[in-house]
Amino acid sequence: MLDMNQLALFFLVLARLSAFFAAGPLFSMPNIPGLVKIGLSFAIAVIIFPMVEKAGANYPPDGWSFVFALAREILVGLAVGYIASLVLSALIYAGALIDMQIGFFMSMIFDPLAGAMTGILSRFLHLLGIAVLLAFDGHHMIIAALVRSFEIVPVNTALLQGASAMFLIKVFGQAVTIGVQIAAPLIAVMLVIDVTLGLLARTAPQLNAFMLGFPIKIIFGLLTISIMVPVLVRIIYSLCGVIEKDILFLLKGMT
């Protein structure tokens, strides 16, 4: 039987896990039912609770102290989930840049996975990232890092400092940089096409270079994407290890 202290500790563990699944990759998708997320959080909390008790967690007192401890665990879970989801965010951003260059940005569609309006290639790269994460057990690695967070930062011991916030901003900037780097080869191809069409418009003014550019950009853009797919798979796989290191670095900064 659980006493009141153990029950309070269990709810703190559940709060961190639930916050992670609300913000993390794969599990935070809007088309996953809320009951599934809650059930998964509860199941993992039951499994790891004995380990958490041995990790040196502080039993929160009653009253407002428990509320503050609950808010602290929610923030820790959201921070870990935020970092874990930045790979897919970088791919979506890279896809948005590519859509803008090719001309697909004008045909935005509603993506139920992202819960927002996205371009065609943004959705493709998002789905590619999810497929690679599942194929290489990236979801297992992320959950393992989350479970390890209870060893590095025991329950009700996290110190939310300014350095942690700065690290989150740094990781966000890193994701934007990765998105630009992924889209850079196609942007370079589109730049060459734009320069070529500009020269063609100067030498043959009777040609409508603007209308001619749409099919040319789409053809060369899709060819470039098809060539980049094997490289993108390797990049996504390598970023899974970067995510794990960033999560552990963030957690060590909270001790």
**pLDDT tens digits, 43-102:** 888 888 877 766 555 666 566 777 888 888 888 888 888 888 888 888 888 888 888 888
Structure tokens, 160 = 């939310």
Contacts of 155 (CB under 8 A, 6+ apart): 9, 12, 13, 16, 52, 55, 57, 58, 69, 73
Backbone angles phi and psi of 129, in degrees to 5 = -60, -40
Q: Are 89 and 25 in contact (CB under 8 A)?
A: no
For 77-86, 157-166, 195-204, which range has the lowest pLDDT when averaged over its residues?
A: 157-166
Between residues 108 and 255, which one has the greater pLDDT?
Answer: 255
What gap in Å lies between CA 221 and CA 190, rounded to an integer?
8
The residue with greater pLDDT, 141 or 227, is 227
Q: What is the spatial distance between Cα 248 and Cα 145, in angstroms, rounded to a whole number?
A: 7
Identify which of 75, 60, 49, 82 has the alpha carbon closest to the alpha carbon of residue 158: 75
Q: Could you tell me which residues come within 8 angstroms of residue 90 by beta carbon, excluding any fewer than 6 positions away?
A: 175, 176, 178, 179, 182, 239
φ, ψ dihedrals at 121, nearest 5°: -75, -25
Whole-structure pTM value = 0.79
User: Binning pLDDT at 50, 70 and 90, where does residue 117 land?
Assistant: low
Give the relative orientation of helices 209-252 and 86-102 as an angle to the nearest 10 degrees: 170
Q: Of the candidates 162, 143, 142, 175, which has an alpha carbon nearest to the alpha carbon of residue 45?
A: 143
d(CA 242, CA 209) in angstroms, rounded, equals 43
